[in-house]
Amino acid sequence: MSDSRRKANPVPGGAPPSSPSSEASYDRRRLHQWLAGEARADGVARRDVLRLVAAAGLAAAVPAGPAGLAAPAAWAGTSATAAPAPGIVKPLPPERFTVRGTNAETRFESLAATGHTTPVSHFFVRNHTTTPRLDADTWALRIWGDGLTGGPREFTLDDLKRLPSASRTAFVECAGNGRGFFATQQGQEVSGTAWTLGAIGVARWGGVRLADVLRAAGLSRRAVDVMPRGLDADYITADGTDLGRVRRPLPLAKALDDVILAYEMNGEPLPPDHGYPLRLLAPSWVGIASIKWLGDIEVSAGPLYSPWNTDFYRLYGDAYPPQGSAPLTRQTLKSAFELPWNAPFSTGTRHRLTGRAWSGAGAIARVDVSTDAGTTWHRARLHDTPRRATWTRWSLPWRPTTPGPTTLLARATDTTGRVQPETTPHNTQGYLFDAVVRHAVTVGD
Ligand SMILES: Nc1nc2c(c(=O)[nH]1)N[C@H]1C(S)=C(S)[C@@H](COP(=O)(O)O)O[C@H]1N2
Ligand SMILES: [Mo]
């Protein structure tokens, strides 16, 4: 059932303004505008946009416009060249984190000691390069572009704090969370960081609504896209191409809906690794939408492109059209046990299995757990009031009877009726893994 649904709608998610079909038509409209010379694609190779245009079956009257930067035909993965030091400021004790290149994955078992929100001490870090050290006293956010009624505007942190404050509990989850299971469960090759399930954390984000800031800056009725950009170093691909600073266009509809510019995380100033002094937070969307270390936001009357919505963060592969899916928006559906791999259990003892489940499309409706590799299923007890944009903790008692290795499964269902499938259709960059994860454990006597 979920398989046929995926074919019709390759990008998970349901209702407007970010439903797959509206994103797909938005994407076609952008490409039309690019052909008409009305959309900019700075820092994106011209031929990459042309490839999208061709694959979308759009007209061949191609503008002579300015040439984009040269870019490779295929990126060699989404992680920068491995550095000797990960460039992360906070401590990364091995019982809480697995360091992967410039990134740090949270060990899911370490979350058992945390509450609904994830303390900074446990929160995963995904850095394209390294954490920059910024000085809030000299920092200001610049808002500019032809989607404003007037000229550029600057906001200091104090200016932002004078606007009405807003806060939201929401996860940040990398689009590649679970990517490692394409190889280990499905025998498929994908590029990028081989995360297990710990490229997610939930925090209480405090700041101001992006909508309020855009209005204060003088939002024009002609605005269609906003492009937040980070102050971290330019991202250089493995083959040496400079893609510029990390940035990704956000459709205005999302920007005005529930996006927050956060200067606080769990009631404290944002820590350096998570975007100090200001980050964007796009609830329910893939992590790349939540740009850290904000320096400027372009507000545009025409559609914008960056490599983070042309090559990265689309689904490419046999199950998808040649131009890839529309740019990824909402996260998918997952659940995870708060257990290490091969966790030991003993027969005749009553254990309590705990975990978390979440969805980018709605709240969690139920979680079913199997302790016998899928033969029988038991409904887990939910410990949070399920809400969208955050996870729900769950538990199930288990008294193992048979010694030996076994496989635990947890299968979440969300309020849109989506159920985690047995397999995820392959995509070359390993995004949005949503299949039930087969968690190996060992039962001793
Ligand atoms: N400026 C900037 N913003 C960024 C990134 C980055 O490397 N630079 N990484 C993105 C990605 S891919 C993810 S998954 C999230 C991770 O947020 P976290 O490090 O606070 O967990 O930040 C996003 N925002
Ligand atoms: Mo990410």
pLDDT in tens, 273-282: 999 999 999 9
Task: Report mean pLDDT in 10-residue bins for the chain, 445 residues.
Answer: 32 33 60 61 65 54 30 30 66 96 97 98 97 97 97 98 98 98 97 97 98 98 97 92 94 97 98 98 97 98 89 92 93 98 96 98 98 96 98 98 96 98 97 98 94
232 CB near ligand 1 (under 6 Å): yes
Task: Give me the residue label for tokens 């009405």.
Answer: 164
Reduced 3-state DSSP string for the chain: CHHHHHHHCCCCCCCCCCCHHHHHHHHHHHHHHHHCCCCECCCCCHHHHHHHHHHCCCCCCCCCCCCCCCCCCCCCCCCCCCCCCCCCCCCCCCCCEEEECCEEEECHHHHHHCCCCCCHHHCCECCCCCCCCCCCCCCCEEEECCCECCCCEEECHHHHHHCCEEEEEEEEECCCCCCHHHHHCCCCCCCCCCCCCCCEEEEEEEEEEHHHHHHHHCECCCCCEEEEEECCCCCECCCCCECCCCECCEEHHHHHHCCEEEEEECCEECCHHHCCCCEEECCCEEHHHCCCCEEEEEEECCCECCHHHHCCCCCCCCCCCCCCCCCCCECCEEEEECCCCCEEEECCCCEEEEEEEEECCCCEEEEEEECCCCCCCEECEECCCCCCCCCEEEEEEECCCCCEEEEEEEEEEECCCCECCCCCCCCCCCCCCCCCCCEEEEEEC
- How many Å lie between the centroid of ligand 2 and the Cα of residue 206? 21
Residue nearest to atom 11 of ligand 1 (CA): 288
User: Which numbered atom of ligand 1 lies nearest the CA of 293?
Assistant: 1
Ligand nearest to the CA of 125: 1
User: Which numbered atom of ligand 1 lies nearest the CA of 124?
Assistant: 21
**Nearest Cα residue to 181 out of 196, 169, 192, 161:** 196
Identical fold for domains 23-310 and 334-444, yes or no, is no
Q: What count of other Cβ atoms lies within 10 Å of the Cβ of residue 215?
A: 12
- How many Å lie between the centroid of ligand 1 and the Cα of residue 214? 22
Residues 6+ apart with CB under 8 A from 354: 112, 337, 338, 393, 394, 395
- Token couple for 374: 């899928």
User: Which numbered atom of ligand 1 lies nearest the CA of 127?
Assistant: 7
- How many Å lie between the centroid of ligand 2 and the Cα of residue 151? 32
User: Which numbered atom of ligand 1 lies nearest the CA of 175?
Assistant: 14
The per-residue pLDDT for range 134-189, each reduced to its tens digit, is 999 999 999 999 999 999 999 999 999 999 999 999 999 999 999 999 999 999 99
Cα separation values, 88 from 125, 146, 156, Å:
8, 36, 25
- Token couple for 55: 């694959």
- How many Å lie between the centroid of ligand 1 and the Cα of residue 280? 10
* 255 within 8 A of 296, measured Cβ to Cβ: no
Residues 6+ apart with CB under 8 A from 58: 28, 31, 32, 35
Residue nearest to atom 24 of ligand 1 (CA): 291
CATH 3.30.465.10 fits 334-444, yes or no: no
296 CB near ligand 1 (under 6 Å): no
Burial 382-405 (b: 16+ CB within 10 A, else e): bebebbbbbbbbbbbebebeeeee
Residue nearest to atom 21 of ligand 1 (CA): 125
Burial 95-106 (b: 16+ CB within 10 A, else e): ebbeebbbbbbb
328 CB near ligand 1 (under 6 Å): no
Query: pTM score, two decimals?
Result: 0.84
- How many Å lie between the centroid of ligand 2 and the Cα of residue 199? 8
23 CB near ligand 1 (under 6 Å): no
The reported pLDDT for the residue numbered 62 is: 35
Can you say whether the dihedral through the CA atoms of 334, 337, 342, 348 is positive or negative? negative
- How many Å lie between the centroid of ligand 1 and the Cα of residue 27? 23
Q: Which CATH superfamily is domain 23-310 in?
A: Oxidoreductase, molybdopterin-binding domain (3.90.420.10)
Residue type, 359: S
179 CB near ligand 1 (under 6 Å): no
Domain boundary assignment for the chain: 23-310, 334-444
Spatial distance between the Cα atoms of 378 and 380, rounded to a whole number of angstroms: 6
**Nearest Cα residue to 207 out of 254, 169, 171, 160:** 160
* 225 within 8 A of 252, measured Cβ to Cβ: yes
Report the DSSP pairing between strands 343-346 and 439-444.
parallel
Residue nearest to atom 1 of ligand 1 (CA): 230
- How many Å lie between the centroid of ligand 1 and the Cα of residue 205? 15
Spatial distance between the Cα atoms of 229 and 41, rounded to a whole number of angstroms: 14
Residue nearest to atom 12 of ligand 1 (CA): 288
Residues 6+ apart with CB under 8 A from 265: 120, 123, 203, 204, 205, 206, 271, 274
